[in-house]
Structure 1
Amino acid sequence: MTRSTFSSHVEVYGKSVQALVNAMEFLKLKAQRVLATHGIEQLEPEKWYPMPRVIASFEDILEQVGPHTTRAIGRAVPKNAVFPPGIDSFGLSMNSLDQAYRMNHRGTGDIGSYRYQPEGDHNARMVCDNPYPCEFDQGIMEALYDRFPPRNSIRLRIDHDPSGCREKGARSCTYYLKW
């Protein structure tokens, strides 16, 4: 599924979009200009914005500034987005990622998902079939690891399964996590 096939009837919560501006510290004016070119003139955290405009903004950021900035935006999401209460571990945060995603999007139609599948004490798989860039999703996972560091772990390793990628037309991306 390509990014353009996701529903145009879905909106994204402004606090989530705010991550785009916050993560681009030195490039805030650029972020604001990119959002404005897609009809998001004055970003208001409590407002909802059409998903196609938000996705188009992410694609422009990825193209103009690069994957590191897109990853930084993903890393900023857990600080800005709404998450379910009671999360106190990496596993719970990853398992609740789809629920948090849905709390920050509303409307009818396909928005994709995050599917967390533990595969052992220090291994898991995350399948992402949402319209956001790969680097964005990886940034979110890194931020959740930093926020809820698992015991007996020094770092998170994320390996992108090379057999399929949304950026190359696949329906989803699969990431193998080790910590």
Structure 2
Amino acid sequence: MSIFVTREEIEAIDPLLWKVLPLQIRERLPRSLTASPLNTTVLRRAFTMLRPFLERLFQRLGYEEGEPWPQWKLLAAFYLIQEEVGPATLFKVGRQIYATMPWPPSVRSVTDAVMGLDPAFRAAHHDAPDALIGAWRVVEAVPGRMVIESSTLYPCHLEEGTITGVCDGFSNERPRAALLMNRRPKRDGGRVTSFEVVYNPRTDRDRDTPHQTAPTSIDGPCRSQSRESAL
């Protein structure tokens, strides 16, 4: 049996789902991986105004309450949200993930938080290998600027929201997030999306205490920037 979910299995859940999934991930959905049921809580928090839609979506995908998600079905949920409700809603869901979560005591700056994205992602997916689930990789980190690449199977708009939610928690450093266009992002058929976070670096004495806060000035998908790669 293949380690990836087949087209027949995907269309058995929903005949329209195959067409909704991006070409570059349709045949890369791992069969055996699971994701934390915490994702259900995050979705419900973000969908307070669209709860009936969300509950129908859970039923449509055969989600069992309180159980881990088959990871491919969670991915399908996000792509169906993007298709049927729109990318702005998906951005909101991503932002909710980190803007309202309690941060570990060791995370005291936006640098700590960005560096912690990959460990948090891995923990939520039970340390699945990169080859199956992808990763968040910091490719540049200098005072005041970080570049991080996502090779996960999740939609770009969701991850733009995730990066913005990280920035929300450290507003004292005035972080700003941007989607970089030095390589083709996942939304345009690529397999890796690059993000830049620029901020005002702080000394250890001034390091932020992460907080739940109102959104920063970024209230939609990250602004795109066309830049040559410095790597």
- Same topology, TM > 0.5: yes
Q: 1:82: Cα distance to partner?
A: 8.4
Q: Tell me the secondary structure at the aligned position of residue 77 of structure 1.
A: helix
Work out the CA distance in 2 between the residues paired with 1:106 and 1:81: 19
Match of 2:137 in 1: 115
Match of 1:38 in 2: 61
1:20 is displaced (CA, Å) by 1.7
TM-score under structure 1 length normalisation: 0.86
Q: Secondary structure at the match of 1:116?
A: strand
TM-score by length of 2: 0.68
For 1:62 and 1:52, how far apart are their aligned partners in 2? 15
1:174 maps onto 2:194 in alignment: yes
Deviation of residue 3 (structure 1)?
A: 2.6
Q: Deviations over 1:122-142 (max 9, x none)?
A: 221110000111111111111
Q: Which of the numbers 98, 120, 143 marks the counterpart of 1:100?
A: 120
Partner of 2:84: 64
Considering Cα pairs closer than 8 Å and 6+ residues apart, tell me whether 1 or 2 has the greater RCO: 1
Does the 8 Å CA contact 1:127/1:175 hold for their aligned counterparts? Answer: yes
Fraction of identical pairs, as percent: 21
Residues in 2 aligned to 1:16 and 1:103: alpha-carbon distance in whole angstroms = 13
Is residue 2:143 matched to residue 1:143? no
Aligned to 1:159: 179
Per the TM alignment, residue 81 of structure 1 is displaced from its structure 2 partner at its CA by 6.7
SS at match of 1:176: strand
| Structure-2 residue corresponding to 1:12 | 35
1:26 CA displacement? 0.1
Q: CA RMSD in A?
A: 2.3
Q: Of the two, which has the highest radius of gyration? A: 2
Which residue number corresponds to residue 12 of structure 2?
A: none
More helix by share: 1
Letter paired with 2:142 = G
Give runs of ≥4 in structure 1 deviating > 4 Å.
79-85
- CA gap of 1:112–1:81, structure 2 versus 1, over 3 A, is farther
Gaps of 5+ in 2: 1-22, 200-231
The answer on whether the counterparts of 1:58 and 1:70 sit within 8 Å (CA) in structure 2 is: yes
